[in-house]
Structure 1
Amino acid sequence: RQINGLPVADNKWDGYHIIEGEVVERDSEDYEYLLTRKKNQSAGTKNWHQAKDYCQWLGNLTILPFDLPTEAQWEYAARNRGEKRYYATNNGYLQYRNGQYFNPSTGYYIDYADDEVNAGTGLEDSLGKWPANPLGIYGMSNNISEWTNDWYSPDYYQGSPELNPQGPKSGEEKVMRDGKGSMTINRVNKPIKRDSYYPSSSFRCSLQQKTPAIALN
């Protein structure tokens, strides 16, 4: 956008709504504020196409096969290569401040110290605020839903391929993973076109390797 002489963003916000006809100019006070506050936050999206386009642009820029992850790829990473993990945290559990969790393997509640907190109840305000999962990936259990490449079908996994499932060939909604208190196996379906930006709707790009993903649902 800078190379083409365009403003930083197509619209300006008052904190809650778009201010029609106003843009965020480079080097303005609004621009500096956004750099300071939002540079470490996840990128909110208006619809699936924005996430898809960004990953493909990144691929063209780097000459690497970047794309949105398939749903199976997302879950495989969230579950530390397919382990039976409830949440995509450092230990598989959500550890909120001043809380405890139930371990079904032992039948006991587990207490932990404040410095062992690994999740929050609201949107993550800074990526990397909580520990990464065992693969070193951050933000896969942070109350922010992420777009995947797959079309949504409620019964797709009843007859899907075991290796490298790509989702249905068509549909009206896309699959999003993670979200408010979501476990690693929870899935959400969202319309492909939406009217507004949502800070709780984001994405991550995946470097597509030749190793096939395994259906885990």
Structure 2
Amino acid sequence: MTTLKEILRKTRRNLRILQEREAKYGREVPLELINQISDHEQAITLLEETLAGEQTEAAIQRLKAALRPLLVASNVETIDLETIKPEIPLQPFEPETVEIPAGPFIMGSAAGEQTPAAETPEHEVELPLYAIGLYPVTVAQYAEFIKQTDYPAPKKVGWLGKTPPKNRLDHPVVGVSWYDALAYCRWLSEKTGRAYRLPNEAEWEKAARGSDGQIYPWGNTWEPTLCHCSGEQTAAVTTFYKNKSPFGCFDMVGNVWEWTSTLWGSDWQESDFAYPYRPNDGREALTADESVYRIFRGGSFKDEPSQLRGSARRWYAPSHADKSRGFRVALDK
């Protein structure tokens, strides 16, 4: 299925390609190219108007009929108009996300005496456009999942049966295993029509450090007042509002560790998937045995500064749940 926003993004990208071709011709621009540019500009206007209005089935069908003769330029990305689906409004229980632009970023850490080997070598990773949770998933958001399903609630972290702790509804949910986080993402996808998932560790790290690989979300200087790193339990996700990452994400370090989709391996001491990060080498397999450790990121309310860097990595069995570990969601765009 294709969303209107996806088609609009691709149409804008194709228009830029056509305009670049136009610039190379100088004054002698072929009429066909001029018409293709005009058609794409008209298509963008139609898409923007439809996105701003009520997206009924009739409106979508009218849009498809209008776009078919317009988006026919050759040697640009093909746009699938037949699987368009309406944009579903954000649900009250749905986590807010922020888009992370496509492009390279610096991942890992340079080798040194104080640098854990698991973080080396420092390297560049190219990622496509994606979205990630503005905050970790909260108790209130996870409680809606528990309420609407027969899924078991977290244990030993303040829940009474399926009733969440009332004084922590705006805290990150904790006491969840990797499998619990995955189940939540799948439920949320089914409820909203958006393909939610866990971020891989490269996506998580880019969201935390920015494109230039700064040490902490706020910069390169340790500031203990900018994250929740000294306490006995979690804090509300809005408490440390000054610790935003370069892309606007909160609580990327401190408060809770966050599960990622990425595998470490079956050996605690040595990873089966060394750096550089390569998403297609098996480390993102969702069906790995539960004896294979999964990576979590970010540090928690009870960790030392060395664990609160954007490049710090930890791993544990995916079936394990802990009072200092939660997760945030991601979305392909």
Normalization by structure 2: what TM-score? Answer: 0.44
Structure 1 CA distance for aligned equivalents of residues 153 and 315 of structure 2? 27
Are 2:254 and 2:298, in contact at CA under 8 Å, matched by a contact in 1? yes
Equivalent residue number for residue 178 of structure 1: 298
Higher RCO (CA < 8 A, seq sep 6+): 1
Q: Given that residues 119 and 141 in structure 1 are in contact (C-alpha distance below 8 angstroms), is that contact kept between their aligned partners in structure 2?
A: yes
Structure 2 segments unaligned to the other structure (5+ residues)? 1-145, 266-270
> What is residue 70 of structure 1 aligned with on the other side?
200
SS in 1 for 2:274: helix
Q: 1:103-148 deviations in whole A, cap 9, x for unaligned?
A: xxxxxxxxxxxxxx31233254111211222211111011411100
In 2, Cα distance between equivalents of 1:92 and 1:166:
32
In the aligned structure 1, how far is the partner of 2:215 from the partner of 2:155? Answer: 39
Gaps of 5+ in 1: 26-30, 97-116, 210-217
1:93-108 mapped onto 2 (5 Å cutoff): 93-96=221-224
Deviations 1:74-94 (A, max 9, x none): 0111111x2221112x33433
Match of 2:214 in 1: 85
For the structure 1 residues 87 and 12, does the alpha-carbon distance in structure 2 shift closer, same or farther, using more than 3 Å as the test?
Answer: closer
In structure 1, distance between residues paired with 2:154 and 2:196: 28
- 1:65-214 counterparts in 2 under 5 A? 65-80=195-210, 82-88=211-217, 90-96=218-224, 117-122=225-230, 123-130=233-240, 131=242, 132-153=244-265, 154=271, 156-158=273-275, 160-161=277-278, 167=283, 169=285, 170=288, 172-179=292-299, 180=303, 181=305, 182=307, 183-194=309-320, 197-209=321-333
Aligned length: 169
Aligned residues of 1:94 and 1:119 also touching (Cα < 8 A): no
Shift of 1:71: 0.8
1: CA distance between counterparts of 2:274 and 2:153? 40
Q: TM-score, normalised by structure 1?
A: 0.65
For residues 49-101 of structure 1, the C-alpha deviation after alignment (integer angstroms, 9 at most, x for no partner) is 00011111111111112100011110111111x2221112x3343312xxxxx
Report the Cα distance in structure 2 between the residues aligned to 1:203 and 1:61, rounded to whole angstroms.
Answer: 19
Q: Secondary structure at the match of 1:141?
A: coil
In the alignment, the residues of structure 1 paired with residue 157 and residue 229 of structure 2 have an alpha-carbon distance, to the nearest angstrom, of: 25
Distance 2:154 2:275 in 1: 43
1:13-92 equivalence runs, <5 A: 23=161, 34-35=165-166, 37-80=167-210, 82-88=211-217, 90-92=218-220
Distance in 2 separating the partners of 1:55 and 1:11: 16
- Per the alignment, in what secondary structure is the counterpart of residue 174 of structure 1? strand
| Structure (1 or 2) with the larger CA radius of gyration | 2
Deviation for aligned residue 1:193: 1.4
Letter of the 1:94 counterpart: W
Distance 1:92 1:11, change over 3 A: closer
Q: Contact between 1:12 and 1:24, CA under 8 Å: does it hold in 2?
A: no
Name the structure where helix makes up a greater proportion of residues.
Answer: 2
Q: Map Cα deviations across residues 143-185 of structure 1 (whole Å, 9 max, x no partner).
A: 4111001111425234643x77762644611011111232111
Aligned amino acid, residue 235 of structure 2: D
CA distance in 2, matches of 1:83, 1:204: 22
Supply the distance in 2 between the matched residues of 1:155 and 1:9 (Cα, whole angstroms): 32
Name the SS of the counterpart of 2:296 in structure 1: strand
